[in-house]
Amino acid sequence: MLVRSKLFRLYLSLPALAFCLATGFANEGDDHEKSLLSNTRQLIFEGVRSGEGYFSRDGSQLIFQSERETGNPFFQIYLMDMTTGDTRRLSPGHGRTTCGWVHPSNQKVLFASTHLDPGAEEKQKREYEVRAAGKAKSYGWDYDEYYDIFEQDLKSGQLRNLTNTRGYDAEGSYSPDGKTIAFASNREAYTSPMTERDKSIFEKDASYMMDIYLMNSDGSNVRRVTSEKGYDGGPFFSWDGSKICWRRFNEDGSKAEIFVMDADGSNQQRITSLDAMSWAPFFHPSGDYLIFATNIHGFTNFELYLVDAEGKSQPVRATNTEGFDGLPAFSPDGKRLVWTSNRGLGRNAQLFAADWNDAEARRLLNLGPAQPSQTTSGVAPGSSVVAKTQPAISADDLKLYVSALASEEMAGRLTGTKGEMLATTYVAEVFKGLGLAPAGERGSYFQEFEFTAGVSPGPKNRLSLSQDKEPKAAEELKLDTDWRPLGLSKTGEFGPAAVVFAGYGISAPKSEANEAYDSYSGLDVKDKWVLVFRFLPEDVGPDVRQHLSRFSNLRYKAMAAREKGALGLIVTSGPRSKVKEQLIRMTF
C-alpha cells in the first residue's frame, strides 16, 4: 500500500487581491460542539473561580487567573506545568491581578496588577462585604486606575513596572518574537483633555476611553493604535506576528464586534457583524480563523463562535451549552482549546480544556486543509527577516535567507518532512514580507500535489510454503516476522509454484579484467520462484567484488530473474552475511 504525503509548491503573482466582508451567522439550532470538541474536562477545581488561561509558546505551561488566596477575593496569577500539573502563584497576592502571558523565552511573564495601590487592602475588605450582602458581580470587571502591567522574571521573581502611568493598563500579551507588547489602556482620560460629553460618559463607564496600545517589551516606545470612542480591548497577536485581533464595543458598551489589524496598527477591519456582544477573540495557530465569545443567543448565554480571519464566511457556533463559555485560547499546535465556562457542577466559572478538531472547523467555515505551520518553530518568520534586509541585493541579505533555510531546525528539508514544511512556510513568509500577492490555491502561496513518501504492506499480504502443491499442507508465514514484501513488488495474487535456489541471483557480463558471473547458469527458473541471497559472495577477491557490486542491487537481481522468466524473487540472508536486520526494509 502506498503511503502518500503532501508537498507544497510555491506560486506568486503581482496583482493585488481584493477581499470583501461577509456578514451573518449560523442558525441558532446548529450544534457543532460534539464534532469540534472532544474529551472536554474541567482543568481547574481549586478556588472560587478561574479564567483567562493562555498557553506558553511551547505549550508546556499555562498561565491563568484564579480567586483562591485567603484574605483576597480578587484574581491572582498562577502558572501551571502542563505535564505535572504543578501550580505556583506568580503575582504578589494582594490587590487585583489579571491578564497573564508567558514570554516566548519561558524566562519571564507579564500580568496586570494593582498591588501598588495604597488602598488595595481596603478594596479587598469592601469586596468581601459586598459579596456577603449578596451583591457580587457574576463576571463584571473593574477598570481600576491603579492597574499597571508588570514583567516578572520567573527565576528570581523580581517584578518590573512596564507602564507606570495613571489609568487602567492591562490586557497585555507578547508578540511571537517577544519584542512587542499589545495592551489596552484608558490613560488618555487622565492625561488629555476630554469634551464634557466624553467626561460625563467616562465618569459612569471607565472603559469608554479604552484603546489599544503597543510598546516595546521593556516598556519603551509606547504608541496608540486605535482612537475610536468606545472600548477597544483584548488584543492578541496572530501566531506569525503579522496581525492583531481585538474587540470593539460601541459607545454605550452594549454591543461589541471582532476586529483585526496589521501588527503595526494599520489596516483595521471588522470581521463580524452580529449586532450582539462579541468579544475575547483568539487566533487559531494556522492564522486562518479565530474563535470568540458572543451572547447572540441571549444576554446571559455566552457561546463560542468561529469566524475566518478575513470575515468572508458566516460565523459558526462552536459550543451549545447554556450559561457562560468565553475567553477561549488555542494551544500552540492548534490541537487543544482552553476556555472559561460555568458548565461545571458548582456553576462558578472555571477553566475547561478539550481536544480541538481543526479539520471540522475548516469544513464548517469552508476553508481548505491546513497549510504547513511554524507556530511552534523557533525560526524567525520570513516577514521579520525581510524587515532586516536592504532594497538592493547584497551578500549579507542572502546570508540571512541561506542561514535560515540551512538551520538545524530545517533538518535537511527532505521532501514531506517537518523541516521541509518549515522551509516552505518560511519562503511563503518571505514572499509575504516582500509584498508579493499569493497565486496559489485558496488565496495562499501553496499548491498541493501528491508524491510517494513511503510504502508499507497492506493487511491482505500473505505467503505460504508447502512441500507439495496441496494447499492444506501449506505453512502460513507471519508478515513482518517471517517475511516482508519488497517495495518493488507487483500487486496481485499468485498461485502455487516451485522454488529454485539461484545463489546470489547475480548475472554479470564479462569485463576486461573479470570473467562473466551467472548465478542462473544451468537453471530453469521459468514460471518459478527464485530464492537468492542478499549482497555479494563472501569468498571472492576485491576486484571481483567491485565488478559484481553493480549487479548485486536488489533491482538488478529482480530484473535478472524477470529476464529469465521467473515468477518472482525471494531474498534471504546468507549464513555468513552477518546482517543486523534479517528482514529487508520496505523501501521504494
Mean pLDDT, residues 52-63: 96
Specify the DSSP class assigned to residue 178. Answer: S
State the pLDDT at residue 15.
30
Q: How many CB atoms lie within 10 A of CB 450?
A: 10
Lowest mean pLDDT among 173-177, 310-314, 396-400: 396-400
The β-bridge relationship of strands 278-283 and 269-270 is unpaired
Give the whole-angstrom CA distance, residue 554 versus residue 136.
78
State the pLDDT at residue 17.
27
State the pLDDT at residue 469.
63
Mean pLDDT, residues 398-407: 81
State the pLDDT at residue 472.
64
pLDDT band, residue 386 (cuts 50/70/90)? low
211: pLDDT strictly greater than 90: yes
56: pLDDT strictly greater than 80: yes
- Report percent pLDDT > 70 for the chain: 86
Give the whole-angstrom CA distance, residue 452 versus residue 430.
28
152-204 per-position pLDDT tens digit: 999 999 999 999 999 999 999 999 999 999 999 999 999 999 999 999 999 99
- E strand residue ranges, 357-460: 437-438, 446-455
Residue of higher predicted confidence among 526 and 236: 236
8: pLDDT strictly greater than 70: no
State the pLDDT at residue 9.
33
Q: What angle do CA 358, 355, 32 make, to 5 degrees?
A: 60
State the pLDDT at residue 542.
81
pTM score, whole prediction: 0.62
Return the domain boundaries, the chain. Answer: 30-132+142-364, 382-453, 463-572
Give the whole-angstrom CA distance, residue 90 versus residue 103.
14
418: pLDDT strictly greater than 70: no
pLDDT band, residue 384 (cuts 50/70/90)? low
375: pLDDT strictly greater than 50: no
347: pLDDT strictly greater than 60: yes
Residue 17 identity? L
Contact (CB, 8 A) for 505 and 535: no
What Å distances lie between residue 20 and 247, 269, 270, 271, CA to CA?
A: 20, 10, 11, 10
Contacts 24+ apart (CB under 8 A), 466-474: 466/496, 469/496, 471/496
82: pLDDT strictly greater than 50: yes
- In the predicted model, what is the mean pLDDT of the chain? 85
89-142 per-position pLDDT tens digit: 999 999 999 999 999 999 999 999 999 999 999 999 999 998 888 766 554 578
Ramachandran area for residue 62 (φ above 0: left; ψ -120 to 50: alpha; else beta): beta
Selecting from 3.40.1260.10, 3.40.630.180, 2.120.10.30, 1.10.20.10, what CATH number does the domain 30-132+142-364 have? 2.120.10.30
Lowest mean pLDDT among 162-166, 444-448, 529-533: 444-448
- Report for 116-120, 409-413, 564-568: range of highest mean pLDDT: 116-120
State the pLDDT at residue 571.
86
pLDDT band, residue 30 (cuts 50/70/90)? low
3-state secondary structure of 216: strand
State the pLDDT at residue 2.
31
What kind and span of H or E run contains 403? helix 395-405
State the pLDDT at residue 136.
64
Residue of higher predicted confidence among 152 and 518: 152
State the pLDDT at residue 387.
56
What Å distances lie between residue 337 and 54, 106, 545, 574, CA to CA?
A: 10, 20, 61, 55
State the pLDDT at residue 101.
98
State the pLDDT at residue 316.
97
| Cell triple for 507 | 548475472
What Å distances lie between residue 352 and 37, 39, 222, 309, 325, CA to CA?
A: 11, 10, 35, 25, 9
Residue of higher predicted confidence among 526 and 426: 526
Return the residue matching grid coordinates 497565486: 439
Mean pLDDT, residues 381-406: 71
Give the whole-angstrom CA distance, residue 500 versus residue 259.
74
285: pLDDT strictly greater than 90: yes
Mean pLDDT, residues 546-561: 82
Longest dimension (CA), the chain: 110
pLDDT band, residue 321 (cuts 50/70/90)? very high
State the pLDDT at residue 71.
94
